Every structure is written in C-alpha cells, then in structure tokens.
Structure 1
Amino acid sequence: MKNIKPAILCLLLIAMIIGSIVSCEKRISPLLVKKKCIDCHKKEANEFKKAKVVHGPVDSNECESCHRPHGVIGGAYLKISEDKLCYSCHKESKRLLDKKHVHSQAKNGKCISCHNPHSSGNNDLLREKGNNLCFICHKKDSYTRNTQHAPLSDKGCLACHDAHSSDYERQLFDTKNNVCSKCHDSGEPGFIEGHAGYKVGDSNCVSCHTSHSSSNLKLLREFIHVPLDKKECSACHHPPESAQALKPRQEGAKLCYGCHTKDKVAFKKAHTHSPVQDGNCLSCHSPHATDNAYQARMPESRLCYSCHKETESLFKKPHVHKPIKEGRCTACHDPHASNNDYELKDSGKALCFRCHKKGEFERSNIHDPVMKEDCVICHDPHASNHKFELKKAEVELCYNCHQKEKMLFDRVNVHTPIRIGRCVVCHSPHSATSDKLLIQKKNRLCLNCHQQMLDEVRGGTVHESFARGRCLTCHDEHASDNDFQLIETGAENCYRCHVEMRTSAKSNKYNHAPFKEGECTMCHNPHGSKIKGQLNRPLGSLCLSCHTDLAVHMKKDKFKHAPAKKGVCLECHLPHYADIESLLAGKGASLCKGCHNLKDHAMADAHSAIPIASADCMGCHETHSSENEALMHKVMHPPFKDGNCKKCH
C-alpha cells in the first residue's frame, strides 16, 4: 500500500500538467479556412472567362482540379505531370495513343502545345485558328507555294490528317492513294488524259505530286525528270495501250544511258559508287519528280545514310566537319565515280582547298603533314570528339610525331601552353612566315600573353633582353627543371650575359650576401622596373627589408645620417662586392670627404683644429643614426665627452 500512494499521486500530477497545457492551447478560429486560387487570382480568372471557349474547371472556378496551391512563393504547380493530368479527365483521348501513328506532341504528352489549358477564342481550346496552329511547328514555306492543294487551302490540314493519331502513315485518315481517290477519280477520262493516256490509279500519287503546295503546276514536285515535264512518258515506259504500259522499256542503267550517254563515259573511272557499278540508278534518283536537287530520292544526308547506316552513328560526335553537319556528303565525295579513293572529288589537300583558303597553308614555313598533302594525319574528315575534328587531343596528336620533344618537356616546370596541351598558342599547325611555325616573330610572340609585364615597366629601366623580345636568353620556351623555365638557376642565368660580374666578384674580398648566394632577384626585377637599377623597390626600403636590426635602430634614434635618411645607401656602400668590409666604397675619412669638406673652418672648429684627413671617422661617429646630433657613439671617453681634447692631444 505504501508504494501505491506515491504512484497515484504521480499520475494525478501528470494529468494536471496535461490538462493545463490543453487548456492553454490556442483554438483555431473557424474563420481561418484555406483559400481557393480564385480568391487571389480574380483578375486572371475574369480574363480567362472573356474568351469564346473556357476550359470546364476554369469556368467552374475549380483551379485546384489541375493546380496545387503555392502559398507565398509564386508558381504554376500542376498536381501531376501534364500528360497524366489531361487524361485524368479526357480518358477517351488516351485510347488515341494506341494507334500506329501518333502526333509527336500527343505522344510526348504536350497537349498544351496545341490547346490552351484555360481558355481560347478558338474551338477545342486551340491556340491558333486553322492551319496557323500547325504552322507553329511546321515551317509555313513548303505549304504556301504558288500552287496549293485545294483541301489544304479550302478546308485545312485536317481534311487529310487526323490531329492526334491514325493507323495510317503521317496520321492520314486512310492509305495515301485512298485519301487521293476521295476527290480524284482515276478512271475518269480527263484524269487518264492528264497522265498522257496512262492508267496510274494504282500508282503512288506522291511519287510525282506533292500533297501540300508546289512551285510547279499540277502540284508536281520541285525537280521534274525531263520526260515527265514534257509528258513524254513513253520515252521510258511502254506505250499506254501496251499490256505492260507502266513497266520501263529497259531494266536498270541501260534505260538511263539511252539519254545520259555522256555520263556513261564519265562514270568509267578507277573508283565507282556501287549503285552506279550495279547499274541501279534508282537507288538514289527518283525517275519522276522529287523535292530534292538532282532528283535525289530524299535529302542528301538521309539518302547516303540509307546505305551507310554504320557511319551515321560514327558521326554523332561533339565536333562534326561542316559538310557532314549540313548533310552535304557530295561536297567531298563524287556520288558517281572518281579516280581518287573513296570517290573523293580531289586528292590530298586540293580537296580541302575547295573550301579552305589556300593562303593559310602556303606560307614560307609549312608543317610536314600539310607539305605531304595529307590533312587526315591530324584531322578526321568526318567527326571527332576533339575541336577542329582532330584525331586526338591536341598535345597527344603533336606527340605522335614529336616523340623526342615529349621526353624533353618532361621537366619540373612546364610552360603553361605545353602543360595544358595547347601547342597552337605559339605554333601554327599549318604554315607560318616565322621559323618553327611560330605564329609571330620571336620578339613579339611572348607578348601575346605577357604584354602586361612590359606595360608595367614601360617608361622605367627595362632589362635589355626583355625590351628586345629576346626572352629565350633567360627562359626555355617549353620546359625546365628551374623556376619560371629559367635555363640556369639563380645567378648562373645572369652570368650568361654578365660575365664581368663573376670575374670581379672573385677579385674582391667581400661579396654582398644575396649576390654571393646567387639571388640576384632579391634586389633586381629580372624584366625591368620604374626604379633605377631595375630594383624591386626604392633603394632605402629595399636594403632595410633585409637589414632589419638597422631599421629598428634608425626608427628609435632621433638623429639620422643624411644618406641613410634619404635611402641613398650607395653613397657609402657598393651593391655587389668590395675590398673593404661592409662593402664600403672607401676607407675612413676618404669615404666621408665625398660629402664633407675636411678643410672647411667649421669642420676644423668642430674637431678642435685637430687634423682629421687620415682619421677613421667611424671611431667616433655612428654611420647611420644616433641619439646624438653629431651622430656620436653612445659611449664616449669622458674628456672627449666634455670637449676637452687637449687633455690628451
């Protein structure tokens, strides 16, 4: 019993806490209900309803039938994907997809390509009226030529085609000829007379006539075979009264060569296209009429691929030769016969020069493959994964021939164009007026990328080699084991020209530390500078950047030696080497007299008339700065400090 009482008390306490929370909870007001689309989009709804035909859900303000609410963030969000959404109501239309030939927009679920989902001024919510709807996707030109098919101009596209799907090709409502026979009676005397007395009712009407519009009379296709144009059908076919009227007089090329006698001779070449060799002209040409030049059965690219199926997939690459991209195989290949391999129209580079300007390949220095007239050493004539239809990535392609260079360029520091595989940044791949196929003369080439370096020092002191564009005096143009592709390390590179510096350094006892270590660029900019001596910074601050202890003292001391204050260190010191310690330009007073007149009365008075011509000034004076106006050493001999020189002298 003792254990039950605390448990009951705990349960009561928990119940009280829950009750207090529930009693404090805010009640949702019955007035706060979810808004409908129409509550915000009244303006849009009113505009939609002004149209002739309004979509049912819009008319009944049921936007939510199709759309999800979006809240603060705007957007037209559909409940489900477009195709499924439409068919959720238009179930009967979904059955149309089961037919053999379905309109591409319907097949891809793009109902709103043709129908406006809200409202329209046209029946069936169509976006445009009549044929103009079809012309949204289908180019108008081929449907509006001089001679138009009556159903197209009078009744529109739907006179022959179903808008959604059909069991017949091109969504026709029947087979091709049955569609035609709805209007044209092939047994009628006028019809037979119009076809030169031949009964062509069972023939393919569209093999001669276009179904939409033509530049020619009788809707004949754009390119008409001469006998047909002259209504001389019997030139190729048996007479109309013959039992074999529609059959050709002769089989294959024999019939064609009856007129094309010159072509028969012209086709006798080393390499003949197989249809020509087999005498099968109709593999490529239509015998009656066609919309393609040279009476080709279909557009050129499609025609070639109808046999050369494997090549079509091979050419689907990022970089395609322009004639291939444009479907002009005959820009390079003769479609009938040639004395060149692959029925090419020309051999070697002469073929390429039919399109590419000759001058760019015939400068004074010519790349070996171009010289050999063998462009396909580097380029794929059709398509490639690489720019300019190169057979390999640029640098790999170059190394195919330049194996020795590949080995030489395998260094620590590689010139950026080489590193990223862009040899053509410097070299022309075809021909050039400069040696080594350089795209410019050596003295200008580097500035194509490094012009900024010259601009930065223009008007200052420019290193002679850099000013003259002789960059290769110091740098290897391709690769080096040294920084910045230098030919030698450190001062060794400088000594290639500055020979006297090395000789003089050996004959002097003291060398400046950076000079001794071969670090010329610690002080000098190797290309140039707007500061005298090609220095990296003004002389005083340059010296103090290494001599930091001196910099601290000078900052602390009140009085400074004039040359040190002005930063003209070379008034007293030599920059590279000297025979005197601290690289001084002279010893004792002989150094100081360059600025100080030792014979001056004021100088004599300051030194109590004691001769100082042979004295060591640094015995008494600081060279750079001091707490004393006379730049005296901090610790002085008492008589000297008191100015009592005569006590000793």
Structure 2
Amino acid sequence: MKKWSIILFIFIGLLSCARPERRLAIKPCVECHQKELKAFLANKRVHAPIREKRCEACHRPHGIIGGVYLKKALPQLCLSCHKKLKEVKGKNIHPPFKKGNCLRCHNPHSTNYKFLLNKGPRVTCLVCHTSERFNQKFVHQPAKDCQSCHFPHRSNFPYLLKKEKDTVCLDCHKTENEVFLKAHKDYHPKGTYCTDCHSPHSGKEKGLFRLYSHQPIKDCDLCHLGPKKERPFSLKRAGNDLCYSCHKKERPPFNAHYVHPPLKEKKCLTCHAPHASDFKGIAISTERQLCLSCHKKMEKKV
C-alpha cells in the first residue's frame, strides 16, 4: 500500500511540473491582412476604422480558420456609429435603407467617391434605376448627382424629393427670367408641375420632354387660353370636347359599337396624360398598372 502511495505522489508531482497549454495570442487584423489594407488605403475615400487600422471596430478576429465575422448584423453594425441616421425622418423610405442593406450603395472599406458610394453619385443609383428615361441623349444637369434633388435615405415627399415636386425645380429655374418665359410662350407656369411636360432626368431633345408628347405640346394656345388672359391655363373647351376638336369622335375607334366606359363617359384623362408621358399612347402609367387600376378583380388572372 505504501508503495502505491509513493507512486501516486510522484505522478501528481510530475503533473504539476507539466508545461501549461500554449494559446495563440490574438493579433490585430492588419498584421496578416497587409495586402488588403494597402489596397484600401490607396483609394481617395477611406472609412475611418480602416484609416486608423481599427478593423476590430467592425470585425471579430477569426483565428486560423478564415472568414468574415462581424460584431453585429447589418444595419445595427453601421448604426452603432452612424447614429444620426436613426434620427432621419420621413414617411417615404429608400428600399435598401428600409431593408438595412447599407452595402447596396456603400463600400464598407474605401472607394474613390464621397459618402463611400460604390460607383459614384449617379452610377450607384443607376445600378437599380435602369429605365431608359435616365439615359437618353440629353441629361438634366442635376441628374448627374441624384442628391441634388433627392434624399438618399428617406423623405416626406414622393420619390424621396427634397421639396414638393412643384417647387424643387424652382431652386435652379427662375420663372421670372426672360429666357424662361420666352421658352414657355410667355406662359407663367405658376400652379403647374414642370414634370407634366418635362422629364426631370433626361430627354431625346434639349427641352427634356418626356418620351411621348402630345402633338400640340409646343403650342399651348391650341388648348389653353392665351398667356395674357386672366386665367391663362384655362381650357378653351371643357373635358372631352376639347379632345374631340382633334380626335374626331365620328371616326374609329371612337364610333365602334362597344366603347370603353371612360371614353363613353367622356373621361379621356382617366387613361391619358394631357401633355406628355413616359408611356406609349401618352398613358399615365404602364399598360398593366393602368388597366388594373379599374379592373382590380383581374389582377390574379393576368
């Protein structure tokens, strides 16, 4: 028994002398990721944590096994520093911002563009906003930087505009200017929407008219009273009677046996814009949206 006690004592003594387990020290990210850091710092705009070599502000060290381990999920990670974005108000929210997808527009490390945008102020927007209305021959000067007119995250105005759509244009276009009035046949556009006739982004001609224009668009007095009248934008005739002065109701398709109710009820503007539109036939929206705005029960069938 004494023999076994001595052996046990020696064994415990040997264990106490054993070298403790070595642990790898956690290194800063930049010690290994020098190549990536050099590439990030080469750009003009560098995210502050990268510039200060504080990758750990956003990332958790990953050890031997590689991977991207963020401290928090998006957008909470971004908002932990960019706290003012939490205070931005507005009932209309940009979809990527609403979904918390900050990286849809911004680069988390560095870029050559302000606000760390992925591809510059205009090109970043055009990644999603791909319609031909943005890329026609003549581009509206502010449209080269969408934030001239739009907020990037949220707004109380439609289309994320900075102001109501009847006033946002007037920051640049002074309506009392002689050149402006001459271009508009001496009509003062007070109380009207510029976008009824003009595209706010680009156009096929210098006037930036929308893709499809009503034929008399450059001769306002064909439909409206003259610019010197007391009510210059009043119509010369009421409702469809004005339309029929050119679109003869005795001719096809207006005189067919079966007539579309809006036409029968003399409501041309139910479907058509009176001045200009980005949709064929000077329609007020796409064919599907237009039809389903009345024929709601058909939505699931088409």
RMSD between aligned residues = 2.8
- Identity rate, percent: 37
Is the 1:187–1:201 Cα contact (8 Å) retained in structure 2? Answer: no
Tell which has more relative contact order, 1 or 2 (C-alpha 8 A, sep 6+).
Answer: 2
**Cα separation, 2, equivalents of 1:308 and 1:24:** 86
Q: Which residue in 2 is equivalent to 1:23?
A: 16
Q: Which residue in 2 is equivalent to 1:199?
A: 188
Q: 1:22 to 1:248 in 2, by over 3 A?
A: farther
Of 282, 288, 291, 1:301 maps to: 288
**Cα separation, 2, equivalents of 1:226 and 1:264:** 19
**Could you give the per-residue CA deviations for residues 447-500 of structure 1, whole angstroms, max 9, x where no partner exists?**
xxxxxxxxxxxxxxxxxxxxxxxxxxxxxxxxxxxxxxxxxxxxxxxxxxxxxx
Q: Which residue in 2 is equivalent to 1:67?
A: 59
Is the 2:133–2:211 Cα contact (8 Å) retained in structure 1? Answer: no
Which amino acid in structure 1 is aligned with residue 94 of structure 2?
A: H
Q: Give the paired residue count.
A: 296
Residue 171 of structure 1, CA deviation:
1.9
Residue 279 of structure 1, CA deviation:
0.8
Q: 1:164 to 1:85 in 2, by over 3 A?
A: same
1:91-170 matched pairs, under 5 angstroms? 91-96=83-88, 98-139=89-130, 141-153=132-144, 156-170=145-159
Residue 63 of structure 1, CA deviation:
1.9
**Cα separation, 2, equivalents of 1:57 and 1:157:** 28
Of 202, 205, 213, 2:202 maps to: 213
Is the 2:105–2:124 Cα contact (8 Å) retained in structure 1? Answer: yes
Is the 2:134–2:201 Cα contact (8 Å) retained in structure 1? Answer: yes
Helix, strand or coil at the partner of 1:170: helix
Q: 1:274 to 1:237 in 2, by over 3 A?
A: same
1:167-566 matched pairs, under 5 angstroms? 167-229=156-218, 231=219, 233-262=220-249, 266-312=253-299, 314-315=300-301, 382=302
Q: Any stretches of 5+ residues in structure 1 without a counterpart? A: 1-15, 316-381, 383-649
**Could you give the per-residue CA deviations for residues 593-640 of structure 1, whole angstroms, max 9, x where no partner exists?**
xxxxxxxxxxxxxxxxxxxxxxxxxxxxxxxxxxxxxxxxxxxxxxxx
**Cα separation, 2, equivalents of 1:73 and 1:308:** 58
Between structures 1 and 2, the one with greater helix share: 1
Helix, strand or coil at the partner of 1:219: coil
**Cα separation, 2, equivalents of 1:35 and 1:189:** 68
Residue 22 of structure 1, CA deviation:
7.0
Which amino acid in structure 2 is aligned with residue 101 of structure 1?
A: N
Is the 1:51–1:121 Cα contact (8 Å) retained in structure 2? Answer: yes
Residue 265 of structure 1, CA deviation:
5.3
Of 19, 22, 43, 2:35 maps to: 43
**Could you give the per-residue CA deviations for residues 184-239 of structure 1, whole angstroms, max 9, x where no partner exists?**
2223344333222322221011000110111133111121112223x1x2222233
Is the 2:26–2:61 Cα contact (8 Å) retained in structure 1? Answer: no
Is the 1:257–1:263 Cα contact (8 Å) retained in structure 2? Answer: no
Q: Which residue in 1 is equivalent to 2:49?
A: 57
Q: 1:184 to 1:60 in 2, by over 3 A?
A: closer
Q: 1:28 to 1:263 in 2, by over 3 A?
A: farther
TM-score, normalised to structure 1's length?
Answer: 0.42
Return the index of the structure with the highest Cα Rg: 1
**Cα separation, 1, equivalents of 2:286 and 2:79:** 38
TM-score, normalised to structure 2's length?
Answer: 0.86
Which amino acid in structure 1 is aligned with residue 155 of structure 2?
A: S
Question: Which is further off, 240-249 or 85-94?
Answer: 240-249
Residue 21 of structure 1, CA deviation:
9.4
